Amino acid sequence: MILPCVLLVLIIPLYLWSRWYEPRCYELNRHTIRMDKALGASLKVLHLSDIHFAGKIRALDQFFDRIAAEDVDLVFLTGDVIDHEKGIPSCVENLKKLKPRIGKYAVFGNHDYYNYRLSDCFKHHFPGQGVPESLNPIERLAEGYADAGVHLLKNETVEILNGRTPLLIHGLDDPTTGKANLRTTMKNFDPEKINLLLTHTIDVFLDIGEGEIDVSFSGHSHGGQVRMPYYGAVLTHTMMGRAYAAGIIRHQGATCVVSRGMGSSRYTPVRFLCRPEALLIEIHGS
């Protein structure tokens, strides 16, 4: 009788914390990274990923008000911005609040394309299981992005200027559902310029050569969502190992920014020792 009582005393607070408290503890985390190439003035990037909009959440709206007050040059969105079509109005409304100096750029993730059912959530983690049958209205999301001034990149590159310094932003379509075409995306790669990569998952670095990318931005892992002390993420959602589930990581000559994300699938709305985050990355040149 004592053991069940002890378990209840432990489990109930843990459940309440991870289901109802920590998923709303939005953090804005700041990092500074330095490249070997010349950049001119430093560049401030607001990186948002895996928001999983499925409706209206007041705490999330308030967090957008907070990050919209930051003075930034670029906003990068690296997929899973929606979880369900019901989230599109709230998504567009919040993205309109962001006013970066240069622009807003996005790539899609798997949850932007597909309206996952509960059974899909188990299946799609295993290779060869195909993709879910139920689609999200991706064209409506793309129209919403255009309305909010967000430039969508689907296996394409855009060149921008930071003062007089040209930067290439390579935007890869979702790699996790086979929509990415790395060869098409990287055809405009120029080693003389700064090459930034937006990709839903960092796993594409398994096919990227040494020194091709200067800074990459990705999500998908959610930092594992549940992390254990002295161990880290329990499930990583990356083939590259636990160390690549979140953070600022050096790999193949690139600085890889991997976000813990700001939301989760509506079927797994828990976080433990893995608070939702937006990243404010200040990039300095040589």
Binding site residues, Fe ion, CB under 5 A: 50, 80
Q: Least separation, in Å, of the C-beta of 60 and Fe ion?
A: 15
Task: For residue 281, give the H/E element and its range.
Answer: strand 277-284
Of residues 80 and 156, the one with the C-beta less far from Fe ion: 80
Of residues 80 and 203, the one with the C-beta less far from Fe ion: 80
Q: What is the DSSP letter of 202?
A: G
Of residues 37 and 84, the one with the C-beta less far from Fe ion: 84
Q: Are strands 74-78 and 103-107 parallel, antiparallel or unpaired?
A: parallel
Q: Least separation, in Å, of the C-beta of 133 and Fe ion?
A: 19
Q: Least separation, in Å, of the C-beta of 220 and Fe ion?
A: 6
Using Cβ positions, the residue closest to Fe ion within the complex turns out to be 80
Of residues 44 and 111, the one with the C-beta less far from Fe ion: 111
Please list, in sequence order, all residues whose beta carbon lies within 8 angstroms of the beta carbon of residue 170, skipping any fewer than 6 positions away: 153, 156, 157, 185, 186, 188, 189, 195, 196, 197, 198, 213
Q: Least separation, in Å, of the C-beta of 80 and Fe ion?
A: 3
10 Å Cβ neighbour count for 116? Answer: 22
Please list, in sequence order, all residues whose beta carbon lies within 8 angstroms of the beta carbon of residue 184, skipping any fewer than 6 positions away: 155, 156
Give the SS3 label for residue 39: coil
CA separation for the pair 66, 188 (Å, rounded): 36
Of residues 44 and 271, the one with the C-beta less far from Fe ion: 271
Q: Least separation, in Å, of the C-beta of 141 and Fe ion?
A: 15
CA separation for the pair 62, 73 (Å, rounded): 21
